[in-house]
Amino acid sequence: MTGRAEVRADMQYPEHEKRRKTVKKPRVMLAASASGTGKTLITCALLKALKNRGLAPDAFKCGPDYIDPMYHRTVTGKDSRNLDSFFSDRHEICRIIASGEGDCAVLEGVMGIYDGADIGSFRGSGYEVALESETPVILIVGAARKGRTLLSEIKGILAEDQKECIKGLILNQISASFYASLKSVLEKELKQAGFRTAVLGYMPEISGLNLGSRHLGLVLPGEIDDLSAQMEETAKVLEQSVDVDTVLKVMDLAGAPEIECTAADTTVHAGEEDPLILGVACDSAFCFYYRENLDLFVRKGVKVQFFSPLRDQSIPEYVSGLLLGGGYPELHLKELSENKSMLDSVRKAIERGIPSLAECGGFMYLHDSITDESGRTYRMAGAVQGACRYTGHLVRFGYLELLSSAMQDEYCQSFVGMRGHEFHYYDSTACGDSYVAGKPFKDRKWHCMVTENNGIWGFPHFYYGSNPEAIDRFIQKMHDVRMALHKDSRRGARELRSNGAIRTS
């Protein structure tokens, strides 16, 4: 995404998504035995290898992750979309997969293949996405510093796969010599156990290649020097050590039937001649957005215009709403604090009643101040009367749903039922009490969210497709406030004329 204040042409609603359709989409999911086993790196390598072969793959990420899709985009040159069975039903998952214009699809799993929102089921897991979309799976297994235990681990995972979604295996972080001795033993024992899963190859440790990580996950792609060259080199290694020809057969032949999807809602709230404009904070400090969230606004006739709280002097002119997403504001506190004209612009827009949504990092930005890990405090926008501080540990981590609201107006009530997740190390002295949130499948609830001046702000990152009616209400509020401000400006002009402050010819 760009941080420049502009309306991106590709944010207009794609014509091809407006129809109900059945799509033949060769596809595969790269899942893993656990987090940290190389899913993102191998996914990007496969995407690059497919491009090198003349294909145009679409990329998808299972689960609520923001950063992995950025890596996908560096390879494919187009947005990667999220697939999450806690946020979306089967029809929506299939619609999203079918919405891509590429000739095939590569899905990256989340955590371990069976890990999700509920330890007692597959709910919210990559495996559930594979089931719902009938996508064949290639399992990546971390093989470093393992021997016989590796075979037991693989057989245990395959035994849980009662639908036989897992069609192939890739062993990661293993030497060529160990793979050569392991492959025949593994194939023999899998066959004896009744598993029909192919051993497709391995990936060695690649010297000098390190995507890097911090407390929220991988570092951003823009922070890695020569990332494109590294991905090219990794794709070459993949071609040499993995049977990519068989991967293509798995994508096309091993249980990936046509996807039938329904058309997305295209209800338009504003006329084409005078569309509402949503200003979206987007730069290296604020970059956590689901493409589907932005698309939902576009489908409903709203134009999305990006701006940078780091570099721009003010929010874009004529915006009727603001979206301040998450990201890494804590890495840019000095620059954000010193851009006082932007802080003033955001605060004044909120004071005027411009409807706003703020999530996690965007919520932090609205506070009086943020104190970083070293104890240094920086002034922020001051729309929230409170302070944020680094805690040193994850706070309220995981999926959530808004269960009820203390606010009685229809606008705020409409957000009840919205689903999202929290993932942050900072906390606030003013988290808010406008809503009660709860964790799925657990008896845990807490108060959250600040609602002021038509703003709905808090630490949760929401997936708007889980409750599109709330976005309808938000857009209607954008329209109502714009009309009210227009009337106020005309009334003020009339008063100035009547007092002689404005001369008319």
pLDDT digit string (tens) for 479-498?
A: 999 999 988 665 544 554 55
How many Å is the maximal CA-CA distance in the chain? 95
Please report which confidence band the pLDDT of residue 446 belongs to, taking 50, 70 and 90 as the band edges.
Answer: very high
Q: What is the mean pLDDT of residues 32-50?
A: 94
* Alpha helices, DSSP H, located in 352-505: 361-365, 410-413, 468-498
Cα separation, 273 vs 284, whole angstroms = 33
Which run of H or of E encompasses 386?
Answer: strand 384-390
Q: Does 284 lie in the same domain as 192? A: no
Q: Does 314 lie in the same domain as 455? A: yes
Q: Does 317 lie in the same domain as 200? A: no
Q: Does 186 lie in the same domain as 60? A: yes
Q: Does 52 lie in the same domain as 139? A: yes
Q: What is the mean pLDDT of residues 134-155?
A: 94
Q: Does 326 lie in the same domain as 379? A: yes
SS (H, E, C) 272-338: CCCCCEEEEECCCCEEECCHHHHHHHHHCCCEEEEECCCCCCCCCCCCCEEEECEECHHHCHHHHHH
- Which of 106-120, 214-228, 358-372, 473-487 has the least mean pLDDT? 214-228
Q: Does 150 lie in the same domain as 104? A: yes
Q: Give the rounded percent of residues in the chain with a pLDDT score beyond 70.
A: 86
pLDDT digit string (tens) for 451-472?
A: 999 999 999 999 999 999 999 9
User: Is residue 150 assigned to a domain?
Assistant: yes
Cα separation, 317 vs 189, whole angstroms = 66
Cα separation, 410 vs 339, whole angstroms = 36
Report pLDDT for 228. Answer: 83
- When the pLDDT of each residue in the chain is averaged and rounded to a whole number, the result is 88
Active site residue: 282, 287, 360, 431, which one?
360
Cα separation, 406 vs 419, whole angstroms = 17
- Cβ density class 23-62: b for 16+ within 10 Å, e for less: bebbbbbbbbbeeebbbbbbbbbbbbbbbeeebebbbbbb
Q: Does 144 lie in the same domain as 68? A: yes
Which run of H or of E encompasses 426?
Answer: strand 426-428
- Which of 19-33, 314-328, 365-379, 489-503 has the least mean pLDDT? 489-503
Please report which confidence band the pLDDT of residue 268 belongs to, taking 50, 70 and 90 as the band edges.
Answer: low
Instruction: Name the residue range of residue 230's domain.
Output: 25-257
User: Is residue 11 assigned to a domain?
Assistant: no
Active site residue 360: yes
Instruction: Look at residues 257, 286, 315 and tell me which one is the last residue of a structural domain.
Output: 257
Instruction: Look at residues 257, 285, 307 and tell me which one is the last residue of a structural domain.
Output: 257
Q: Does 298 lie in the same domain as 155? A: no
User: Is residue 270 assigned to a domain?
Assistant: no
Cα separation, 479 vs 355, whole angstroms = 10
* Residue 161 predicted with pLDDT over 50: yes
pLDDT digit string (tens) for 68-87?
A: 999 999 999 999 999 999 99
Q: Does 252 lie in the same domain as 143? A: yes
Query: What CATH number is associated with residue 463?
Result: 3.40.50.880
**Counted domains in the chain:** 2
User: Is residue 1 assigned to a domain?
Assistant: no
Higher pLDDT, 489 or 380: 380
Report pLDDT for 230. Answer: 86
